[in-house]
């Protein structure tokens, strides 16, 4: 089992943060400046390794997350992916036929530098620190493939419903390659996996089972079958009460929660075997220290009797002061 999960089983409140490597760190900005193209940055073994290790060198964290992006999957399936400043990701047109025809070997070759960066990072990383591999969940990848950028509410549905047959076909292909991508990350040395379903909250209730629960369940089941020692954390962001059904169906090892979720519902309805991760609204990183402390203690106290991994309800905002993250880690560490 990964160090991260061992610590959570021992009620030691391990901590890592989504987007712990990123724009709030000046040393990240230094590396970023030299990279024109974001996907090439993700595929630069030395740069990706360096940036993955930056937060670990600064803070006392229990896990590193490999520096990459969920959009390397559409990229490896032949869809152009670009990142525009202040706009986020912008994708080009996709070819269903290219998606269909992509061979496993070809896909793996395109992403081999992600796996090499994992291998390199693992070598440089202290054994007591976990290395998290990740992927987007099928729905969230489908959203980017069809919508070509981060969606506004409901806008994607039009795309999905316009051509349901195509959406279903795409979903199947995406699901297959997500599995392959995760498997390669495990083989390279990732000891924990996180699946990001950042846009699960856009799915209408009646479609949640088809677009979110079932595809995620199939991936989790397949990984568990082959790599039972690798814990999988799922982050179905924005689905509210439906996390209960999500957990009953998907059965992940860990559930990452967003800041809107009712923690009492989690305590009452989620199986104790499932570790709970995160929750605190990232906006408190930019509030008064006392208020941030209050919120940190709220989550630590609520989940005292559970296997809990401290994290946020979403990524570290880019305006965050690196000193604040230092304070946050200190507060979590001193809790007993």
Contacts with ligand CP3 by CB under 6 A lie at 18-23, 32, 38, 65, 67-71, 83, 88-89, 134, 150, 196, 198, 315
Q: How many CB atoms lie within 10 A of CB 244?
A: 17
Q: Of all residues in this chain, which one has the CB nearest to ligand CP3 in the complex?
A: 198
Residue with Cβ nearer ligand CP3 (60 or 271)? 60
CB contact at 8 A, 71 and 91 = yes
The CB-of-48 to ligand CP3 minimum distance in angstroms stands at: 9
The C-alpha atoms of residue 323 and residue 321 are separated, in whole angstroms, by 5
The C-alpha atoms of residue 40 and residue 100 are separated, in whole angstroms, by 24
**Bridging pattern class, strands 254-257 and 275-278:** parallel
Residue with Cβ nearer ligand CP3 (24 or 299)? 24
Strands (E) in 20-167, as ranges, are 63-65, 81-84, 88-91, 130-136
3-state secondary structure 19-60: CCCCCCCHHHHHHHHCCCCHHHHHCCHHHHHHHHHHHHHHCC
Residue with Cβ nearer ligand CP3 (27 or 293)? 27
Q: How many CB atoms lie within 10 A of CB 89?
A: 18
Nearest one of 271, 286, 294 to 316, comparing CA atoms: 286
Residue with Cβ nearer ligand CP3 (74 or 247)? 74
Residue with tokens 């390199």: 120
Residue with Cβ nearer ligand CP3 (21 or 167)? 21
The CB-of-178 to ligand CP3 minimum distance in angstroms stands at: 13
The CB-of-70 to ligand CP3 minimum distance in angstroms stands at: 4
Residue with Cβ nearer ligand CP3 (150 or 321)? 150
The CB-of-17 to ligand CP3 minimum distance in angstroms stands at: 8
The C-alpha atoms of residue 276 and residue 254 are separated, in whole angstroms, by 6
Please provide the distance, in angstroms rounded to a whole number, between the alpha carbons at the two ends of the chain: 23
**DSSP label at residue 315:** P
The CB-of-34 to ligand CP3 minimum distance in angstroms stands at: 12
The CB-of-166 to ligand CP3 minimum distance in angstroms stands at: 22
The CB-of-103 to ligand CP3 minimum distance in angstroms stands at: 25
Residue with Cβ nearer ligand CP3 (70 or 76)? 70
The C-alpha atoms of residue 213 and residue 122 are separated, in whole angstroms, by 31
């Amino acid at each position: 089992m990964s160090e991260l999960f061992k610590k959570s089983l021992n009620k030691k409140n391990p901590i890592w943060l989504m987007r712990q490597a990123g724009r709030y760190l000046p040393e990240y900005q230094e590396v970023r400046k030299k990279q024109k193209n974001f996907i090439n940055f993700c595929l630069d073994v030395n740069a990706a390794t360096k940036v993955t290790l930056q937060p670990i060198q600064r803070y006392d964290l229990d896990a590193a997350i490999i520096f990459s992006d969920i959009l390397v999957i559409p990229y490896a399936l032949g869809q152009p992916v670009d990142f525009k400043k202040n706009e986020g990701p912008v994708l080009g047109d996709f070819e269903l036929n290219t998606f269909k025809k992509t061979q496993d070997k070809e896909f793996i070759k395109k992403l081999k530098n992600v796996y090499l960066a994992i291998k390199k990072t693992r070598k440089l990383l202290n054994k007591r620190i976990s290395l998290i591999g990740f992927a987007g969940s099928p729905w969230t990848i489908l959203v980017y493939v069809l919508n070509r950028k981060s969606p506004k509410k409901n806008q994607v549905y039009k795309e999905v419903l316009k051509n349901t047959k195509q959406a279903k076909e795409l979903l199947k292909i995406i699901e297959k390659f997500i599995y392959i991508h995760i498997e390669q990350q495990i083989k390279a040395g990732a000891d924990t996996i996180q699946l990001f379903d950042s846009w699960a909250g856009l799915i209408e209730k009646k479609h949640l089972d088809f677009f979110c629960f079932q595809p995620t369940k199939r991936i989790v089941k397949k990984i568990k079958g082959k790599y039972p020692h690798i814990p999988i954390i799922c982050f179905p962001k924005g689905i509210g009460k439906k996390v209960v059904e999500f957990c009953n169906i998907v059965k992940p090892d860990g559930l990452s929660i967003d800041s809107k979720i009712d923690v009492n519902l989690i305590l009452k309805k989620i199986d104790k075997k499932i570790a709970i991760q995160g929750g605190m609204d990232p906006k408190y990183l930019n509030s008064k220290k006392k208020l941030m402390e209050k919120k940190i203690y709220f989550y630590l106290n609520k989940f005292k009797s559970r296997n809990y991994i401290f994290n946020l309800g979403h990524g570290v905002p880019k305006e965050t002061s690196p000193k604040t993250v230092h304070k946050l880690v200190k507060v979590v560490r001193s809790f007993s």
